[in-house]
Structure 1
């Protein structure tokens, strides 16, 4: 039985049982009955069915958008974060497939996992302090080791090994931007690392594929 028929039956029964002209309210429906101010029961039903049509059209549009994607967005949830104690308190945004985590007073973290035609997975740190890449390199890469060891989608052990062995090629692109490659065949082809310290500091490790 579809949603329209189910709610129609529920509301019809309520109308038949009621002799009042007041607005009907029920927790079993997902439409906004409070917003309806009909003069009679027929108008109420017509208004409710209009709202139901709107809901169904929205669901149909979302389904169509997902069907048009290369990657199934319906499976792109925050399930991969739920059992990680160190990341408790995150805020998940289902539309962007991003999680926000406040690490301390100065530092926050954004994790993205998902996409439509391009699948992205990255962890991006933001620090209100302006870090110096050369002077604060250990702090920066310690953060990279920490987050990649927590998230199974990263090759945490390999990333840690390459960083600790110093097998990193660093390119200074301009005054504020650095790029790093991990000098390991598997990691080199898959991962990227970017750093920027204009006004604030952001640095990110991740990968993507289409």
Structure 2
């Protein structure tokens, strides 16, 4: 694994790659630089859950708190298998094509979902997007995800996730696979 640097606005961020390590050139120095062990550790903090399983869930409800965001509540018995892990916990959401009401969609049943999907015809494959869990609702066996509504002014140009969020109705079946989290504050760090 190697770490490079990416700068979008002058701030250097570590970028992880699993290629063979090679020396990186820095704009600040004339000599090649090798990432420090700390830089490698920071860039590889993604914490996968101890046990993962595909969750079969239903849409419990949705609300639009602002013109560009939709909050969708997902719930069901399988929420008990979701380990609450961190502030930026995310997972893959599998859902039917929001533009095709007649499609019989195959929702994967295990973390070997890529293999399962490649064996399905294109009309039966669900759409897949990754979303962060915004809040847990343990008493309701549910959690919320927030979806950014891109192209709010021209719905025909919106992406799959935006179109699905707008069309999601209570009872709609989806699948969710926990992908873990990466924000891991130091032990004893204060939070607000």
Is this a same-fold pair by TM over 0.5? no
Q: TM-score, normalised by structure 1?
A: 0.23
Larger radius of gyration: 1
TM-score between both structures, scaled by the size of structure 2: 0.25
Task: Determine which structure has greater relative contact order: mean sequence separation of CA pairs < 8 Å that are 6+ residues apart, divided by chain length.
Answer: 2
